[in-house]
Structure 1
Amino acid sequence: MQVSNAQVDAIESDEYFQKRSLKGGAVGWVLLVSLGVAYTVSGDFSGWNYGMEHGGWLGLAIAWLVMGIMYLCTVFGLAELSSAIPTAGAGYGFARSAMGRTAGFATGLALVIEYVCAPAAISTFIANYILALGLLPEGTPPFAIVVAVYALFTAIHAIGVGEALKFMFVVSAIAVVALAAFVAGIVPHFDMANLFNMPADESFGSSEALPMGIAGVIGSLPFGIWFFLGVEGVPLAAEESANPKRDMPRGLIGALFILAATGFCSLLFAAGGAGASMVASSDAPLVDALNAVGQGGLATFVNWAGLAGLIASFFSLMYAGSRQVFALSRAGYLPNVLALTGKRKTPTVALAIQMVIGLVLVAVMRDGDLILNIAVFGACVSYALMNLSHIILRVRNPKMERGYKTPGGVFTTGLAFCLSCVAIVSTFFVDMVAACGVLGVYAVGMVYFVVYAKKHLVANAPEEEFAALNAAEAELR
């Protein structure tokens, strides 16, 4: 049977959705906070510090603040949207309800790019960490470690969402404890002068405080994102949450405040203890900072815990990617075979496809930093579209049932939208190849949507039903 809904859509049976369903009630708000922290915690251990090579310590601190405001405003908007539209589609579902199918697919595609590329990049960092720690025989190929990491953690995800997130909770806790230990060990050696020991260049506005001037601050913005990247993925657990209207806002906001605190501690105390000039180019800034001040034993512990942080982020981002692919596929935006779930109600096909694509990315690109820059660009595009979705739904359907309301309303998400657009532009200052690569993927994806997917959508998928309900309510206003 078919109905007309701007075009002819499929109406699928209960059996279709039974084969494409997740395990409800498996996740409480504490595990959601842990999920949000796990997405991002690896960014506290390394990567962020390269922003100081662009803008010095103060430039990166400004980037942390500006991007932190963007994430705070975005999270407030997502807390409202996820309490009103609690589906596994999350960002794609929000944009679908607000702006239609094309914008919904565009948002979902941006999130897929982020959640597929980010774990691929982190898998290379995990391989490098394992080799640096001497855990495997010398000469072990890094790609073999990447394959093993993907296979192991894909299998754990397939066992069940409750088991997976409890494992992630433990690993995330280890990483947070290590960050606290780092702060305790470095505080006695903190010196404010160390923050500003990078030489100024001749660029416009350069000074001792901003050694690379105004352009350096702009170039630091994408690295400010590293302190928060991925936290917006918490709403992807909506269909597996015990009480999404209550738990989603708690999970999102709780995770963001923890990440803001841990990120700023890494930024402040690593540079303040060992000096910005040394930390800026370090592959392991927390470890090198501790070694520089004579805390070798603590540095070893933090080094091991850094591996735990990388595993937590890899594991959680695989979760996010599989749920986004699952939701898009269930509704027909991607081939619906990708939404099939196993006996334990986990999206096994989506997990397997994500693993294959991740391995191909690593094998072909062989550059974790480049792959991660692609993920950052995709994330920034999704932030702009999700914030715009909140604004549109507030204007068009102010009476939509919401379990939580964003403080400041559309002003809050309007600010986040503007900052998201700034973040998109700033990525071109750091990695033109990554930005243009995402645009190329977007072009191919949109052609696929127009030529094929648009003609094979499922009208009674949860995200489509929410969109139809919101449209009906808006007409009655």
Structure 2
Amino acid sequence: MSSQLKPTLGTFHLWGIAVGLVISGEYFGWSYGWGVAGTLGFLITTLIIATMYTCFIFSFTELTTAIPHAGGPFAYSRKAFGETGGFLAGIATLIEFVFAPPAIAMAIGAYLNVQFPDINPKLIALGAYVVFMGLNIVGVRIAATFELIVTILAVIELLVFVGVVQPGFSFSNFVLNGWAGSNQFSGAAMSGIFAAIPFAIWFFLAIEGAAMAAEEAKDPKKTIPRAYITGILTLVSLALLVMVFAGGVGDWRTIANINDPLPQAMKMVVGNNSSWMHMLVWIGLFGLVASFHGIILGYSRQIFALGRAGFLPQSLAKLSRFQTPHRAILAGGVVGVMAIFSDSFINIQGMSLTAAIVTMSCFGALLMYIMSMLSLFKLRRSAPDLPRSFMAPGYPIIPGIALTIASLCFVAMFYFNPMIGAIFIGFIVVGYIYFLMTKAQRDSSEESQQLLKTTIE
């Protein structure tokens, strides 16, 4: 059976994937940053992270268009640094994309629990996995069209949220106790700015996943840059709007550290029984669904690419009769479901399970960003003839900014999250042992023999 994905996606589909992968971050997860940094501290963190992502996307697009491969960062780092480089980027991306969906699935459960308090949110999360893994298996064009529709609805809903709460907005509410629970900047406020890094990353986490649909894109050298650039501008604008307006409608401390900050913020303005409130809960689910569904698409392509290259069992690279990597979709789902039901016996650093999973996913993302920017610099020197239809603007300054901020954030994450960082390193070590033991498996794969010496047109 063929292991080659079919190009069926245009610019609008890719924009839907790029924004849809991320947009749940505007609905939940970020408010944990208020809990450690306050509104003003977290605003600074968010601006720093938004700068990193903007510089990163403008640089990453050069790699994506030059090497349109389902493995995304894995393929770029492998071409730049060989097998070990490919392994590091591949496992980092895998950790990012496999750990993000259970956090989103639990948020879906929390949103629906507002309407159906008698249903266990974990069962709702499990049902979400079953439904959207099935949709991804049926076909990428169907999946991408669905992703586009729910992403558009999710964007509209965020704008509606801003419009509905605007009458109750006061900037004085937003700034009150805005420095880590205090009205004055202090050492604790500075510490909170760094501690909030993973929750600011959550605003933008996984936008790079659209690169994993590159093999399925029509004319990727043109469609991917358009999708990425419009996507990051969309997301930065929405993140700032949502955060500022949610924090200015009342006492923001009551909606920090929860999984459904937008419905709770809206309650402060329109009350519990308003039709606007019910609309936000139901339509707001589209944002969560868009990201959940999109990241399933992303992790499945990463698992598929690693299996096809022999870095994971090659059986994971088999395609279904719908030409989708069904085994990869199911494999990532098993890990996600296990994470959802693990909170009864896992307590990490006193965090909620959602916050811990978000942090773990961010560790993977930052390592992948570092490897991608290093690959960009390396390939500019080692592969100057690589076809580059899009060149990173402001090179080397723009990619240098992305690399510097990502590296500083990676170090800060370890300082503020030592236990999760240790678990992350444990995953890397276990993966590296597997990598060392499976050289023959990689050597026997057709792609392993061709990828490093073939320029993908």
**TM-score grouping bracket, smaller chain normalisation:** over 0.9
Contact 2:63 2:376 in 1 (8 A): yes
Match of 2:404 among 401, 418, 434: 418
Question: Partners in 1 of 2:186 and 2:161 — Cα distance?
Answer: 26
**TM-score, normalisation: structure 1:** 0.88
User: Aligned equivalents of 1:393 and 1:187: distance in 2?
Assistant: 48
Flag the 1:141–1:453 CA change in 2: closer, same or farther, 3 A. farther
| 2:370 aligns with one of 384, 388, 403 | 384
Q: Does 1:114 align with 2:118?
A: no
Counterpart of 2:158? 179
Matched letter for residue 165 of structure 2 = I
TM-score, structure 2 length as denominator? Answer: 0.92
CA gap of 1:180–1:454, structure 2 versus 1, over 3 A, is farther
- Equivalent position SS for 2:97: helix
Equivalent residue for 2:324, pick from 331, 346, 350: 346
Counterpart of 1:239 in structure 2: which amino acid? E
Structure 1 residue aligned with 2:19:
37
Q: Structure 2 unaligned runs (5+)?
A: 345-352
Q: Give CA deviations for 1:410-448 in whole Å, capped at 9, x if unaligned.
A: 221121111111221232354333221111010000011
Match of 1:371 in 2: 357
Deviations 1:304-329 (A, max 9, x none): 22222111111111000000000111
> 1: distance between equivalents of 2:68 and 2:257?
42
Q: CA deviation at 1:228?
A: 0.2
- Amino acid corresponding to residue 23 of structure 1 in structure 2: K
Is 1:19 aligned to 2:2, yes or no? yes
Per the alignment, residue 262 of structure 1 pairs with 238
Q: Which whole-Å CA distance do the structure 1 matches of 2:338 and 2:258 have between them?
A: 28
Q: Shift in Å at residue 278 of structure 1?
A: 3.3
Residue in structure 1 matched with residue 347 of structure 2 by the alignment: none
> Post-superposition shift, 1:107?
0.4
Superimposed CA distance per residue, residues 353-401 of structure 1 (whole angstroms, 9 cap, x where no aligned partner):
1111222222234523322221111111111111111111112223321
Q: 1:176 to 1:200 in 2, by over 3 A?
A: closer
Q: Aligned partners of 1:311, 1:398: CA distance in 2, in Å?
A: 41
Question: Match for 1:362 among 330, 340, 350?
Answer: 340
For 1:199 and 1:39, the matched residues in 2 are separated by 30
Larger-gyration structure (1/2): 1
Report matched runs for 1:295-444 at 5 Å: 296-365=274-343, 367-444=353-430
Instruction: Give distance in 1, aligned partners of 2:54 and 2:178.
Output: 33
**Which of the residues 141, 150, 153 maps onto 1:162?**
141
Aligned residue pairs total 446
CA-atom RMSD in angstroms: 2.2
Letter of the 2:29 partner, please give it: G
Q: Does 1:246 align with 2:222?
A: yes
Query: Which sits farther off after the overlay, 417-426 or 123-132?
Result: 123-132
Residue type matched to 2:3 in 1?
Answer: R
Rounded to whole Å, the distance in 2 between the matches of 1:331 and 1:141 is 40
In 1, are the aligned partners of 2:202 and 2:358 still within 8 Å (CA)? no
Q: Structure 2 counterpart of 1:268, which letter?
A: V
Q: Which amino acid in 1 is paired with 2:217?
A: S
Which ranges in structure 1 are unaligned for 5 or more consecutive residues?
Answer: 1-17, 472-477
Q: Which runs of 4+ in 1 moved over 6 A?
A: none
**Where does residue 348 of structure 2 map in the other structure?**
none
How many angstroms apart in 2 are the aligned matches of 1:361 and 1:128?
16
330-339 or 119-128, larger mean C-alpha shift? 119-128
Q: Does 1:146 align with 2:131?
A: no
Give the stretch that moved more between structures: 445-454 or 318-327: 445-454
Alignment of 1:448 onto 2:424: no
Report if the CA contact (8 A) 2:9-2:141 is conserved.
Answer: yes
